[in-house]
Homo-oligomer: A and B are copies of this chain.
Amino acid sequence: MAKEKAPDKRDRILEAALRVFAQRGFYNAKVSEIAREAGVADGTIYLYFENKDDLLIQLFEEKMEVIISRLRLVLEQCGGNALDRLRRMVHSHLALAAEHPVLAEFITVELRQSAKFVREYENPRFQEYLTILRDLVEEGQREGLLRPGLDSRLLVRMIFGSLDELLLTLTLASSSRSIDLKAAAECVTDVFLHGMSANP
């Protein structure tokens, strides 16, 4: 059975699922629609995925893996101190709205559904993303740049929450009311870096 599984077919199904989920929403999307979009038979999907939930989770894992490895590279090349890298991470997060709006919508909307409905799924990639952010904050605290008394777990949720809400707004906004991506990134870093600063 394994021999029949071509990796490009799996990728095609995942890309089709991303488009169908974004268009129709996870709960409205039918496996048969994903099959049609991918140009495969309905049954083929079950060679690669147990069910629609499994497809959602594997899609997440895969996309987050790409986002995370790109982010790690960007942070490595960034140099500077923890605050410079934090600033870089904020820009990268919001840039997704321009670079890959379908993926941005999928992450901002479906991730939250997943938090509720797939409780047994711990979402390790999302945890990994938060850990990168937390490491930067704690490095800044150790370096004496950020106030050590602030709880890094809370800070990370706050920063992620702000980014997630702005990414959602950037992604869903009609062009007429759209906010400026660069201005948003600068506002986030400005407020958070001032707010957490050890040198007020």
What residues make up the interface of A, taking CB atoms closer than 8 Å to B?
25-28, 105, 108-109, 112-113, 115-117, 119, 150-151, 153-155, 157-166, 168-169, 172, 179, 183-184, 187-188, 190-197, 200
The chain B residue with its CB closest to the CB of A177 is B153
B183 adjacent to A151 (CB under 8 Å) = yes
Main secondary structure of the interface of A (DSSP, over half): helix
A115 adjacent to B168 (CB under 8 Å) = yes
Complex CA gap A112/B115 in Å reads 12
Q: Given known contacts A183-B151, A183-B154, is B109 in contact with A105 (CB within 8 Å)?
A: no
Q: Given known contacts A27-B27, A28-B27, A115-B172, is B196 in contact with A191 (CB within 8 Å)?
A: yes
Q: How many copies does the complex hold?
A: 2
Complex CA gap A158/B194 in Å reads 14
B-chain residues with CB within 8 Å of residue A25 when the two chains form the complex: 27, 113, 116-117
B-chain residues with CB within 8 Å of residue A115 when the two chains form the complex: 109, 168, 172
Q: Given known contacts A109-B116, A172-B116, is B154 in contact with A166 (CB within 8 Å)?
A: yes
The chain B residue with its CB closest to the CB of A164 is B161
Contact of A151 among B153, B169, B187, B194 (CB under 8 A): B187
List 17 A–B pairs whose Cβ atoms lie within 8 Å, in order of A's numbering.
Answer: A25-B117, A105-B116, A109-B112, A112-B168, A150-B187, A154-B184, A154-B187, A157-B179, A158-B187, A161-B163, A161-B166, A191-B196, A193-B195, A194-B195, A194-B197, A195-B195, A195-B196
Complex CA gap A115/B170 in Å reads 13
Complex CA gap A116/B153 in Å reads 29
Most buried by B among A26, A153, A191, A197: A191
Name the distance in Å between A198's Cβ and chain B's nearest Cβ: 11
